[in-house]
Amino acid sequence: MDAIRPILDRIQLPDTIGAAKPASEAGNEESAFGGILKQAIQQVTGAAQQADESLNSFLRGESEEVHKVALDAQRAEISMEMFLQMRNKVVQAYQEVMRMQL
């Protein structure tokens, strides 16, 4: 999931004037949709990192238990599936709007 981090850093959200700013500079001016999208990406990335840490801790023989590792992995997988389904719905809605005739 480290592949998502460079993408998250380069997301640009439009401000109210129309010029684009990087997400890190947008601050409180983020649009509601952009903020939700950024938060969803961070949650998916966080779940994947937690699963990786849990698995690595288990493989090193530290105090992680098998059921915790399995639960963290399942949480990460479900988070990613939900994010992909949300993305698919947004793309579907966009395509539907683009098909409308004015």
For residue range 59-79, list pLDDT tens digits in order.
998 877 899 999 999 999 999
Q: State the amino acid at position 16 in one-letter form.
A: T
For residue range 15-27, list pLDDT tens digits in order.
444 444 555 555 5
Measure Cα distances from 39 to 19, 44, 46, 86 in Å.
Answer: 22, 9, 10, 13
For the chain, domain boundaries: 4-99
Are 80 and 44 in contact by the 8 Å Cβ rule? The answer is yes
Query: What is the predicted pLDDT for the residue at 3?
Result: 57
Are 48 and 76 in contact by the 8 Å Cβ rule? The answer is yes
Judging by beta carbons within 10 Å of its beta carbon (0-12, 13-18, 19+), is residue 72 exposed, middle or buried?
Answer: buried
DSSP state of 3: T
For residue range 43-55, list pLDDT tens digits in order.
999 999 999 999 9
The answer to pTM > 0.75 is no
